[in-house]
Structure 1
Amino acid sequence: MALPSGGPWPPAELDAVRDKTAVWDAWYCGDPDVLSSIYGGQVGTDPGGTGFYASERGGLRGRVGRAVSRWFWGSSTPPGERRSKLHVPLASDIATTGSALLFSEPPTVSSEDKATNDRLDDLVDDGLHGTLLEAAELACALGGVYLRTVWDRTLYPAPWLDVHPASHAVPEWQWGRLAAVTFWRILEADGDHVVRHLERHEPGFILHGLYQGTRDELGVRIPLTDQPATAGLAAVLGPDGDAIPTGIKQLTATYVPNMRPNRIWRGIPAAAHLGRPDIAGAEPLLDALDEVYSSWMRDVHLGKARIIVPRAYLESAGPGQGSTFDADRQIYSDLNLLPRSGDSAMITPVQFAIRVAEHRDTAQDLVEQILRTAGYSAQSFGEQGQTAVTATEVVARERQSFTTRNRKIVYWRPALAEAIETLLAIDKAVFGSTVTPQRPEIEFGDSVSEDPQTIATTVELLRRGEAASTETLVRMQHPDWEDAQITAEADKILAESGRMLSDPVATGAEGPGAPGFGGGGAA
């Protein structure tokens, strides 16, 4: 149980992870400056404050030489020209869509114990849905995400789940399970002077440390009170300590992989258990897509109509001020020109063709290849129009997307259940909850909801055919209702329709039409 004492940061054994994560982060951010920094070696924007792009130790181009110069984003802009490269934010669209497929509807978190279930309702209803949407998007983009249990009595009287990106974490694995993890963030960066805050999660403890170093070196420990962002932790830790006891045996951080196995890190022990993002392997295709769209826009720019006129047609703006030609002017004064043999049109129009079909077809094929590599159907991105269809038709058209969603649920369900169990344990250990912590049941909602009109038609047909009870029909119409609400609604429908007394099959009660009632029964 100790924080690092110095050395390279992040640790050198994660250099390979750092390289690829920075590439995926650049495509996810979608900033042309960042892409140029990654592939062209130009110092640009550092989106995550990692120090990767400006570091002599880091930088993809610095590690693999001139290989990335063959990439579209690796070529430099000639001096004197403005950058004409265009970026298509398909990588971020894929991450957003992947998140929506998983959590467009909030998952159901429940427990068999009523007291635990009631407490879960209080904890889960407090913004968990938004947290999961954010976490799933980061996992799709970077290959995985961390859910950590946090609490602050001055802010809120209960613990909650927080999201931490995988790009700012150093995990430690034991038999394929997360044994400890160190999160880090840069609080101050001035040239080569960097101040980092490290937060290490171990079973039973959370450790905090503040370091002053360089972009490549962790440096030396300094007091937490030196930075406003960590000064409040000093009072909790005490003057000589750096650990906060959690009072529980569980690790207060959970790793959620986006998809496994990771094809490129299988031989690296420190990274073999990390997940892979949706765009893994599609980076060259994304680069080619940007090149196609940039070429398309270049055609648009060059295709603007231009005219070439003799110098005598130009009107002088004065000595040293150049000359101009007004193409919108209707009447010109006589020009003192000698006609030339065979020269009937001295004003020459120039307009290049814009290859719309060629560019569009190439871009469309690249998009389909990228989506297929990511595991999604083109229909999930609106590539087949916006014609209204039923939920069954949607599932049939987007089978590949829903197959990918089901694979991701295999990783999300146990990780989310573990994180929420830890949330209950902290709630009891720190906040004095009387609920016994236990692992909840997680049910993922449908990513495509059936149209209400379609459900109503189905209910009406089942009612006419007497193929379902009133309670079953109400449950179909309102799948999110509790049992008590469904029973009460069914009773109201039966009472208003007059079937409460005349339909013993529906109600289970005797009435005028029941056997043995009145004159119809045996004497």
Structure 2
Amino acid sequence: MPLPESDMPWPPTDPCVQNAIADWDAWYSNDPDRLGDLYLHRGIRELPENRPSQYRGGVIGAISRWFWGQPTEPGQKREKLHIPLAGDIARTSSMLLFSEPPTLTGSNDATKKRLEKLSEQLHPTLLEGGEVCAALGGAYLRLVWDEEISDPPWLTAVPADQAVPEFAHGRLRASTFWKVVEVDGNTVWQHLERHERGRILHALYVGTPGMLGRRVPLQDHPATEPLAREITREDWIETGAPKHLTASYAPNVRPARAWRNIPAAAYWGQSDFQGIEPLMDALDETWSSWMRDIINGKGRIVVPNSMLDSLWPGQGAAWNEDRRIYSGLNMLQRPGDPNPLEVVQFEIRVQQHMDTCSALVAEAARQAGYSASTFGERGDGQAVTATEIKARERRSLITRARKALYWQPAIAEALAAQLAVEAGPLFGVRGLDLEPPKVEFQDSISEGLGELATTVELLNRAEAASRETSVRILHPDWDDHQVMAEVDKILGETGRAVSDPMMSGAEGFHGAPHTMERDSGGAAQ
């Protein structure tokens, strides 16, 4: 849709989608106050202390019967505790994908050099985007530039709840990003930024919470006033890359089971939290019960009135547990004494609570697509090989590979748009290739040197790999120059290097004649 000209509800998203994203955002925030407020007040207007919704059926009644949907009785202290499992899941998803920056490859030297620098700058953005993508079901890579901050443009990560996308056959056609720039009482100022191929549209609105309001000039607010000077035609800025969209979308996973039948959201991604909210709610309830056992298990002493020190009239009496000597009291307890000194100690059910918490975490992790061992469950702390880790975390690695299939085109398209904008009239960088770069994800679990050495030894023993291949296995981060130089050194030190008769006069990487490897029988290979 184009930028609105009149008042309308904002964001214009189906209420089912809005409620789901609000739920995921509350769990992701790890804020008990937000969770309590969300489940206590969704769909009702009664005060917490008078909530007939708890006795209703349907969605409202079901939510209010959740642990976080139960109100705290008046006069009591809230004893609900929260385990930040949702944040742990989102962070783990991001680390599995982007613990190492992806390898970016261009077709010419200028593009390769530029991509090498962009890889370093893009890494923290991808870590941020991967986390909010797992939490909210998707994330955007948006191209921005500001000459007062940096000369070249750069990519930023935008959560799914701050954009309204438009899809065509599953591909992003346009996206409208929105940001609240000021809230003054019931007046809300919002900036809308719509990305289309070749241009970016900007508009400013003054409305109320939930309503966009009327459109006003960009000059009316300091946050958008600089944009007014950059508008080149009507209400947009020409990017100089007419074939490229300066925003890309990476869904977490598809299809989104919760709203696959909602046309406007059919191509949105699904959060890792979808369907495990009750498990996370039960985990908080179990953890709070465990802590309640600890509080109840504190030793308490019941003493007779004769052992209390009388305070001032009307102030009652007190027991001093540090006092050493009491005089004038018959301290010997007699049979049938109505006022014995008694110690009360309740049982703390440690193992039962621990087993329940472990089972809930393992099931939540499994439903989200991860192995329980990824979150430290059933770990004995002993050192293991990379092969053993991959066997334990097979489910997590499969989920990682699935998510990488969505992130690869999103990163490639965003970088292609950035290179096109930099090569256009706005920045005028020469020599850049405008084709999408090749994006390769690196292995998040790398083998140790001992495992690599064993692999190389077995390959050499079977005569199934050359020296060059062996060096590349041991040093995957080396370039061709370093690899061939190391091969020459190895062959020279072992005495297995001979001059190549077919390359007379030619020189190798270091100016030395090309060499060949002599086999164990003396023949040159």
Describe how 1:328-477 pairs up with structure 2 within 5 A: 328-335=322-329, 342-343=336-337, 346-385=340-379, 386-429=381-424, 430-434=426-430, 435-460=432-457, 462-463=459-460, 467-477=464-474
SS class of match (2:315): coil
Amino acid in structure 1 at the alignment position of 2:483: I
Amino acid in structure 1 at the alignment position of 2:223: A
Task: Call closer, same or farther: CA 1:339–1:148 in 2, change over 3 Å.
Answer: closer
Q: Is the 8 A contact 1:140 1:258 kept in 2?
A: yes
- In structure 2, how many angstroms separate the alpha carbons of the residues matched to 1:119 and 1:338? 88
Name the counterpart of 2:509.
none
Describe how 1:303-318 pairs up with structure 2 within 5 A: 303-318=297-312
- In structure 1, how many angstroms separate the alpha carbons of the residues matched to 2:316 and 2:339? 24
- In structure 1, how many angstroms separate the alpha carbons of the residues matched to 2:399 and 2:518? 52
Task: Call closer, same or farther: CA 1:343–1:277 in 2, change over 3 Å.
Answer: same
Cα deviations across residues 145-183 of structure 1 (Å, max 9, x unaligned)? 011111222222222211111011111222222221111
TM-score after normalising by structure 2: 0.88
Amino acid in structure 2 at the alignment position of 1:235: R
Amino acid in structure 2 at the alignment position of 1:477: L
Kindly state the Cα deviation for residue 204 of structure 1 after the two structures are TM-superposed. Answer: 1.7
Kindly state the Cα deviation for residue 465 of structure 1 after the two structures are TM-superposed. Answer: 6.2
Kindly state the Cα deviation for residue 502 of structure 1 after the two structures are TM-superposed. Answer: 9.3
Q: Is the 8 A contact 1:36 1:42 kept in 2?
A: no
Uncovered stretches (5+) of structure 2, i.e. residues with no partner: 44-55, 502-513
Count matched residues.
Answer: 495
> Are 2:217 and 1:223 aligned?
yes
- In structure 1, how many angstroms separate the alpha carbons of the residues matched to 2:303 and 2:296? 18
> Are 2:128 and 1:134 aligned?
yes
Q: Is the 8 A contact 1:310 1:346 kept in 2?
A: yes
TM-score after normalising by structure 1: 0.88
Name the counterpart of 2:25.
25
- In structure 1, how many angstroms separate the alpha carbons of the residues matched to 2:518 and 2:395? 52
- In structure 1, how many angstroms separate the alpha carbons of the residues matched to 2:323 and 2:331? 19
SS class of match (2:329): coil
**Worse-matched range after superposition: 157-166 or 134-143:** 157-166
- In structure 2, how many angstroms separate the alpha carbons of the residues matched to 1:501 and 1:330? 94
- In structure 2, how many angstroms separate the alpha carbons of the residues matched to 1:364 and 1:99? 23
- In structure 2, how many angstroms separate the alpha carbons of the residues matched to 1:338 and 1:94? 60
> Are 2:79 and 1:79 aligned?
no
> Are 2:205 and 1:211 aligned?
yes
Name the counterpart of 1:88.
83
Q: Is the 8 A contact 2:107 2:433 kept in 1?
A: no
Q: Is the 8 A contact 1:308 1:348 kept in 2?
A: yes
> Are 2:87 and 1:107 aligned?
no
Q: Is the 8 A contact 2:91 2:131 kept in 1?
A: yes
Uncovered stretches (5+) of structure 1, i.e. residues with no partner: 44-60, 517-523
SS class of match (1:289): helix
Amino acid in structure 2 at the alignment position of 1:406: A
> Are 2:482 and 1:508 aligned?
no
Name the counterpart of 1:192.
186
Q: Is the 8 A contact 1:502 1:514 kept in 2?
A: no
**Worse-matched range after superposition: 7-16 or 483-492:** 7-16
Kindly state the Cα deviation for residue 223 of structure 1 after the two structures are TM-superposed. Answer: 3.0
> Are 2:284 and 1:290 aligned?
yes
Amino acid in structure 2 at the alignment position of 1:184: W
Kindly state the Cα deviation for residue 132 of structure 1 after the two structures are TM-superposed. Answer: 0.9
Q: Is the 8 A contact 2:162 2:179 kept in 1?
A: yes
Name the counterpart of 2:6.
6
Q: Is the 8 A contact 1:10 1:170 kept in 2?
A: no
Structure 1 segments (4+ residues) deviating >4 Å: 336-341, 460-467, 501-504, 513-516
- In structure 1, how many angstroms separate the alpha carbons of the residues matched to 2:125 and 2:244? 21
User: How high is the sequence identity, in percent, across the aligned residues?
Assistant: 54
Amino acid in structure 2 at the alignment position of 1:256: A
